[in-house]
Structure 1
Amino acid sequence: MSLPSRASFADIRLYSPSKLKCSVDLSDNTNLFGMPPAAERALREATASLASRYPTGYAPDLRQAVAAYTGMEPAQVTTGCGSDDVIDSALRAFLEPGDALAFQEPTFVMVPYLSKVNALRALPVPLRPDYDIDVDGLLATRAKLIYVCTPNNPTGTVIPRASMERLVDNASGVVLIDEAYAEFARESFLDLARTRPNVLVTRTLSKAFGLAGMRVGYAVGHATLVTEVEKARGPYKVTGLSERLAAVALTQDVEWMKARAAESLAIRARLEAELGKLGLEPLPSEGNFVLVPLAGAPAVAERMRQRDVNVRAFQGLTGIGDALRIGCGPWTMMEAALGALREALP
């Protein structure tokens, strides 16, 4: 059998584009309201040994904190260098080169990339016109692992519970549910990770918790799934400093996070209203961002960058076309973005 080729260096650069530095950067959907206060105190109080010594293998303190936050047991938790690293470890744990990886399209840009670097067969299945997943299409792939993202990046749309449960209950292998934006959404599928033996839910501290620079992600699921991912990840994926800050944020900064998430959602609603006044129709989002279908979006984004505002442009998204993804930050940043957008529109 001829195996898919692995990604080249040129492919890697496609996923890490250089960008003009802008004073207002709304391109990566991170928390723009500052660092969690308890985590900031932990950073100031950190000792030099956190940098000079290896961290404890497999991040036990972080696993304990994640377990408490999610209502799982530590044996049901694995961690990594951001949720994309956890996803990568899961792919290597459950798939061999040449195996099929099915996923909704469009979705998180790292997933088709990770399928390349792991020499997998990527099987994208387009979203339905209502932005629900095509359950029958995903099941028909018979893939050993199906990846779904909710709220989905870049669309911001969510998967209805009935669709998710039908997918999980009928999948022939593992279903990996990416909940990077779960703290902004009305509903989570952590209950499926507790009750179904084939479900792994990944999350990150890069978004609502405001620790993107610490690179901390995790997954929860049945202990047998977690054990396999732990075998694939290696012992030192989370630095000692990152573990300390993430554990503190998960145990002491949850109320701070919830308040900032609520503020982001209020700003998103205000942004959607302002975009409507410009004749634009963002997709229905439950993330801290909106996706705005717009012909010529890459050129518009470039004109916005020239006005010191950075947003993410997509070209030719399946079922959508060109679009701008705009993250939500303090309203002063949104005012600057809207001003730049008004001037940049054709």
Structure 2
Amino acid sequence: MIPTRASYRDIPLYKPAKKPCRVDLSDNTNLFGIPPAAGRVLREASTRLVTHYPAGYSPELRKAVAAYAGVAPEAVTTGCGSDGIIDSAIRAFLEPGDVLGFMDPTFVMVPLYSKMNGVKAAPVPLRADFDVDADALLATGAKVLYLCAPNNPTGTALSRAAVERIVEKAPGIVILDEAYADFASGPGFLDLARTRPNVLVTRTFSKAFGMAGMRVGWAVGAPALVAEVEKARGPYMLTALAEAMASAVLTEDTGWVKARAAEAVANRERLRGELEALGLKALPSEANFLMVPLPGAPKVAERMRERDVNVRAFQGLTGVGDALRIGSGPWPLLEAALVALRESLR
């Protein structure tokens, strides 16, 4: 018999219901194509990027992120997607048995990371207006508090007042996951990472930057905080090719990224109108997707997959119930999704 960790026995593999479909709106990735600079680096890549180890701790990308975020390179960490950084931060700042506080619902991997790292999960329901309940989250006494802004899977924003209260009163570290910040109308919370010693803001190249397959994330925080995350991260979490592509995009293609993000937001609101015509009311969204409360959503999503369209279904979400999460992208893809949805609702 293979010896296993008792705490791991009930951890499921991350395996959302999906199958290969012509239209896939389930992952909220950038469906407008690869940034031009990333494409150039990919075409011109030398075999050395494959045959040699990458530089430890991604120094070139840290420099590019530092210039982009207005901080010193010592205030930047990188990782295998922002989720890899979140996992590393939990390991860095929590001992087994400590408490991790987070919003409910939120990014599905966070409660799994709590189990994997042997810490106690303290989920706190969102308020009725979908803002974070600052006082309830602080009442957990957790040494690490996780916030997702805009929140996934709801798409809703967090208020500045609530976030600042949490940062001010938190007994330990606050992780602010801004995977969808490029689609939000507000400025985000990078300024808190620059000015507060207990804040780590994470971002990703998987959404607006169109590089989900390369698995690149980054985070900004006080240098002393970042140094601890780097210890937990390990030296070779990014391939040399991924680092080169991401550095080029940050240096050359932020205008391209902003234009594609703006198009995704415009199409998101056009999609909202079409859903309302079907009698469906999506939640407010500051991300590149809409969450649509819908009883029996998993069955509807299954029927949509039969029509070659993949969206993400949720069942029994706290404060929401059953719902579909539909990513935004080029309008022809959303049009195909609407046709499949209309047929699946009949």
TM-score by length of 1: 0.97
**Partner in structure 2 of residue 261 of structure 1:** 261
Matched residue type, 2:276: G
Distance 1:27 1:318 in 2: 20
Q: How does 1:105-116 map to 2 (within 5 A)?
A: 105-116=104-115
Distance 1:275 1:38 in 2: 36
Matched residue type, 1:296: G
Cα deviation, residue 12, structure 1? 3.5
**Partner in structure 2 of residue 151 of structure 1:** 150
What is the number of residues matched between the two proteins?
A: 341
**Partner in structure 2 of residue 48 of structure 1:** 47
Residues 139-183 of structure 1, C-alpha deviations (whole Å, 9 max, x = no match): 001100000001000000010101110110011110000000010
**Partner in structure 1 of residue 8 of structure 2:** 7
Contact in 2 for aligned 1:6/1:118 (Cα 8 Å): no
Distance 1:257 1:318 in 2: 33
User: What RMSD over aligned residues (CA atoms) do the two structures have, in Å?
Assistant: 1.0
Distance 2:155 2:251 in 1: 27
Distance 1:275 1:135 in 2: 32
Cα deviation, residue 16, structure 1? 2.3
- Is 1:252 aligned to residue 252 of structure 2? yes
Distance 1:101 1:229 in 2: 16
**Partner in structure 1 of residue 185 of structure 2:** 186
Matched residue type, 1:285: S
Distance 1:218 1:319 in 2: 31
**Partner in structure 2 of residue 345 of structure 1:** 345
Q: How does 1:120-135 map to 2 (within 5 A)?
A: 120-135=119-134
Cα deviation, residue 20, structure 1? 1.4
**Partner in structure 1 of residue 227 of structure 2:** 227
Cα deviation, residue 11, structure 1? 2.5
Distance 1:337 1:11 in 2: 32
After superposition, the Cα gap between the structure-2 partners of 1:228 and 1:34, relative to the gap in structure 1 and judged at 3 Å, is same
Distance 1:303 1:282 in 2: 20
Distance 1:301 1:222 in 2: 43
Distance 2:55 2:22 in 1: 38
Distance 2:100 2:246 in 1: 30
Secondary structure, counterpart of 2:107 in structure 1? coil
Cα deviation, residue 226, structure 1? 0.1
Residues 189-223 of structure 1, C-alpha deviations (whole Å, 9 max, x = no match): 00000111110000000000000000000110111
Cα deviation, residue 5, structure 1? 5.1
Contact in 2 for aligned 1:29/1:289 (Cα 8 Å): yes
Distance 1:174 1:287 in 2: 25
- For structure 2, the 5+ residue unaligned runs are none
- Is 1:241 aligned to residue 241 of structure 2? yes
Matched residue type, 1:182: A
Contact in 2 for aligned 1:309/1:340 (Cα 8 Å): yes
**Partner in structure 1 of residue 326 of structure 2:** 326
Contact in 2 for aligned 1:101/1:144 (Cα 8 Å): yes
**Partner in structure 2 of residue 214 of structure 1:** 214
Distance 2:11 2:313 in 1: 18
Residues 18-47 of structure 1, C-alpha deviations (whole Å, 9 max, x = no match): 621100000000000000001100100000
Distance 1:101 1:307 in 2: 40
Distance 1:320 1:12 in 2: 23
Distance 2:20 2:138 in 1: 42
> Structure 1 segments of 4 or more deviating over 4 A?
none
- Is 1:65 aligned to residue 64 of structure 2? yes
Distance 1:33 1:133 in 2: 32
Distance 2:130 2:344 in 1: 28
Matched residue type, 1:6: S
Distance 1:28 1:240 in 2: 25
Matched residue type, 1:342: R
Matched residue type, 2:127: R
- For structure 1, the 5+ residue unaligned runs are none
Distance 1:342 1:25 in 2: 17
Distance 1:68 1:262 in 2: 23
Cα deviation, residue 186, structure 1? 1.7
Secondary structure, counterpart of 1:6 in structure 2? helix
Secondary structure, counterpart of 1:146 in structure 2? strand
Contact in 2 for aligned 1:7/1:113 (Cα 8 Å): no
